[in-house]
């Protein structure tokens, strides 16, 4: 049984206005952190073993100049019962609630280009313990499991599979307001979760939809 994907090229605030309170059981989002990780932040050539990537691989964009405003997080909490918000350590004052259940994606030392973080953090609304997902990732170059890089801040499909396995229940409706590379859509499709999501940038939306079409044409996906 495959999940249904409703993926739109539109502003996430307009998307969320369409839905009543608590419509989604879980929102898993990766909004801009406001730290310049768009193509402008990828200075020069970065090397990861024999794989290299240049700044020119990605279109010149300015989507990571600031993090979302407080209104975004209020609307996100309105339409979803629970939330997992990546990068919240950069804008926790805008959420702004304590959490016992922060999630840590440890990249296993594979993203050690100057300035790159050892891990990424997600705030959650769950009343559970801190958990770590250990998964090697090669930064801006070649990446694991044969996943082609189409977005500067692309996350692995395996990460979303882990999130869904541990924090979603069968039948849950999932929301993602910043689809980016569409990794979450591939995970939801193969795991049988219905996903509603938006991506504002038309270029990234087109690349994402092409990627999803190719990946979901397979009978199975190797996470």
pLDDT tens readout for residues 49-66: 333 444 445 555 655 567
Domain count, the chain: 1
Whether 24 maps to a domain, the answer reads: yes
Tell me how crowded residue 203 is: count the other CB atoms within 10 A of its CB: 12
pLDDT score of 54: 43
- Domain assignment of residue 223, yes or no: no
Between 102 and 115, where is the model more confident?
102
Mean pLDDT computed over 93-106? 96
| pTM of structure | 0.86
Instruction: Write down the H helix ranges in the chain.
Output: 12-17, 70-79, 157-167, 183-191, 202-215
Per-residue confidence (pLDDT) for residue 156, from 0 to 100: 92
The reply to whether 222 falls in a domain is no
Whether residue 220 lies inside any domain: the answer is no
The pLDDT of residue 149 is: 80
3-class DSSP assignment, residue 41: helix
The pLDDT, as a whole number, for residue 222 is 80
pLDDT band at 146 (very low <50, low <70, confident <90, very high): low
DSSP state of 197: E
d(CA 216, CA 211): 9
Domain range spanning residue 162? 5-215
Domain at 26, CATH number: 3.40.50.150
The model's pLDDT over 115-141, given as tens digits with 9 standing for 90+, comes to: 678 899 999 999 999 999 999 876 544
In a domain, 79, yes or no: yes
Q: Is residue 197 part of a domain?
A: yes
Residue 108 near residue 158, CB atoms below 8 Å: no
Query: Is 48 part of a structural domain of the chain?
Result: yes
């Amino acid at each position: 049984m495959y999940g249904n994907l409703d993926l739109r090229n539109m502003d996430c605030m307009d998307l969320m206005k369409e839905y009543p309170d608590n419509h989604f059981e879980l929102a898993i989002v990766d909004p801009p952190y406001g730290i310049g990780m768009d193509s402008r932040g990828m200075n020069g050539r970065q090397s990861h073993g024999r794989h290299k990537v240049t700044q020119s691989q990605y279109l010149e964009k300015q989507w990571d100049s600031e993090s979302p405003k407080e209104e975004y997080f209020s609307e996100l909490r309105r339409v979803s019962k629970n939330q997992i918000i990546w990068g919240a350590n950069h804008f926790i004052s805008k959420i702004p609630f304590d959490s016992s259940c922060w999630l840590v994606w440890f990249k296993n030392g594979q993203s050690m280009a100057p300035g790159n973080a050892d891990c990424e953090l997600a705030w959650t609304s769950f009343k559970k313990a801190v958990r770590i997902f250990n998964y090697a990732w090669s930064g801006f170059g070649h990446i694991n499991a044969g996943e082609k890089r189409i977005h500067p801040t692309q996350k692995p499909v395996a990460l979303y599979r882990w999130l869904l396995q541990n924090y979603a229940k069968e039948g849950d409706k999932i929301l993602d307001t910043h689809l980016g590379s569409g990794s979450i859509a591939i995970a939801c499709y193969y795991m049988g979760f219905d996903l509603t999501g938006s991506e504002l940038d038309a270029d990234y939306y087109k690349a994402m939809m092409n990627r999803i079409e190719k990946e979901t044409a397979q009978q199975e996906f190797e996470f």
